[in-house]
Amino acid sequence: MKFKYVHNNINVLDLEKSVTFYKEALGLREASRKEGDGFTLAFLTDEDGIHEIELTWLADRKEPYNLGENEFHMAFRVDDYEAAYAHHKAMDAICFENTAMGIYFISDPDGYWIEILPQR
């Protein structure tokens, strides 16, 4: 039996705002979209297209999602860390820096944290 890791899901309040953020902040593109009765799913991926983030928008959801203590996150490795840092700083998206570890985090429109890692 063989399993293949396909996607992670997060729920968002404003789908278009989130799609725009992930495109601008991380260069992700929308690979597909599924419309249903009261929901929309948008699947975002990077240029390799191996893994996707599924953004779920629910029509009847009006209040922000409870992210608990926000102890979970996604991570992205970037080939030009300094340029990415400057870009995210200009976007005012950086929410936490750990200079000792050489990493930082950005926050998406719903408050999900995304770790940015340099090439090692």
Mind telling me the catalytic residues?
A: 115
Residues 6 or more apart whose Cβ sits within 8 Å of residue 53: 7, 8, 9, 10, 22, 28, 43, 44, 45, 74
Please list, residue by residue across 98-118, b when 16 or more beta carbons sit within 10 angstroms of its beta carbon and e when fewer do: eeeeeebbbbbebebbbbbee
Pairing type for strands 113-118 and 73-78 reads parallel
Q: Which two structure tokens, joined as six digits, stand for 99?
A: 């200079």
Whether 76 and 117 have beta carbons less than 8 Å apart is answered as: yes
Q: Do residues 104 and 98 make contact, with C-beta atoms less than 8 angstroms apart?
A: yes
